[in-house]
Amino acid sequence: MSSSTQKNNLFHRFDGVLWGNPVLALGLGVPFAVIATVSMRSAAVLAAAMLCTAVPVFLVASLCARYIPQWLRAVVYSLVSAAALIPLRALLFSLFPAVFDTLGVYYALMALNPAVMIPALSHRVTGEKPGFALLNALCYSLGFALVLFGIALIREPVGSGTIWGHPVEIPFQLAPAQYPFFGFILLGYFAAVYQFLERLFVLVARKRGRFLKNSKKSRREEEKIPDSGSQKEQKKKLTWFKRNQEEQAEEQTGHNDTEGITKKQLDK
């Protein structure tokens, strides 16, 4: 949300949940979506970690980025992110102790989650008001969690026959669903479905004329502001207009006599 027109658009205010999803649209956080979604509990732990890292990092980026040299920002954001994970680990370990064995190093790697680092380093968050930065963090976290839960909801019952650790009856089971390649293939199909739905939405919205309502192009079409063009094009238009006027005058009077026509009439 970089332009003021997009901020006023309610749809773009929640950028990151579905539209502009960090995993499916921006391609960020692939390791976590592929490796660590073998169970719903792992997905829940990573979603909580995403929220707890995105909020402080985005707030620091919005408030302090102008005081930090550009080359040092990645260092600061990664350290803030890693510091935020330490108390969360203590809390989550009391709730899901076995999950940390499943996650391995991937919980600690959330400190360098591209879904947090790249938006924080880009114009999306830097210089934004803290309120919008917080909203961005919540939206990105929700979008990230939706994808992780979606993949885990398929992998856990198919791979281990459980949902949230509770056994369920599944007509078939595939032990290789726990391996990385299954996660990649599942993520690929999720991304394809997302792209299909995104394109469908854009086509429907364009037909209704509601897409990019506040964009410059649609405002120009509404107000019928003529395209000004470059100075050369303006001169060409003026020359053509004058020539057209002279031809019309010649047709009317029967001879080429433009002296009688005033400048105002020519300008009209």
Residues that bind another protein (CB under 8 A): 24, 26-31, 34-35, 71, 74-75, 78-79, 82-83, 85-86, 89-90, 102-106, 108-109, 111-112, 114, 117, 121, 176, 178-185, 187-189, 191-193, 195-196, 199
Which residues 6+ apart lie within 8 Å of 261 measured at CB?
Answer: 245, 249
Give the nearer residue to another protein in terms of CB position, either 200 or 225. 200
- Residues 54, 257: Cα–Cα separation, whole Å: 75
Give the nearer residue to another protein in terms of CB position, either 135 or 191. 191
Cβ of 252: how many Cβ atoms within 10 Å? Answer: 9
Smallest distance, another protein to C-beta of residue 165, A: 18
SS3 assignment, position 162: strand
- Residues 204, 208: Cα–Cα separation, whole Å: 6
Give the nearer residue to another protein in terms of CB position, either 178 or 245. 178
Give the nearer residue to another protein in terms of CB position, either 199 or 243. 199
Give the nearer residue to another protein in terms of CB position, either 21 or 141. 21
The pair of structure tokens assigned to 71 is 């080359």
Smallest distance, another protein to C-beta of residue 222, A: 30
Sequential DSSP letters for 177-230: GGSHHHHHHHHHHHHHHHHHHHHHHHHHHHHHT-TTTTSHHHHHHHHTPPP---
Smallest distance, another protein to C-beta of residue 157, A: 19
Smallest distance, another protein to C-beta of residue 40, A: 17
